[in-house]
Amino acid sequence: MRLPEYASCGPKRFSELKRNIPYASAKVLTENLRFMVEEGMILRDVRGEHTVEVWYHLTGRGKDLGTVIKAMNSWGEKWLQVPVGSGASDDKESGGRSKKANIPLATQW
């Protein structure tokens, strides 16, 4: 998942996260959020009594991971769209083939 600039600017609700991750099903997003809560990357904040709202906040641990994710996305944007064997890559094992790496980039979170 890609961590956009606004992710560290405050709490997000499930619907906002889902809108920014269009390729993930609600089930997959829910499973990932549960995992990240268990690992201390985000906090789950339940607000209200009659109308319950759930908000997710990045913890310090989650913000630190965001730095790593941003670096990985920068690398992917630079290298995963370069035609294999074009000479623009430092991978000499391509055998001169001329096809593009077909790996989707991470989605914004």
Question: Could you tell me the domains of the chain?
Answer: 5-87 (1.10.10.10)
* Between 32 and 95, residue with greater pLDDT: 32
Share of the chain above pLDDT 90, in %: 43
pTM for the full predicted model: 0.61
pLDDT band at 33 (very low <50, low <70, confident <90, very high): very high
Single-letter code of the amino acid located at 82? V
Q: What is the pLDDT of residue 82?
A: 58
Residue that the structure tokens 């094992």 belong to: 93
**pLDDT (average), residues 70-94:** 69
* Calpha distance 109→17 (Å, rounded): 6
Residue 99: enclosing H or E segment and its boundaries? strand 99-100
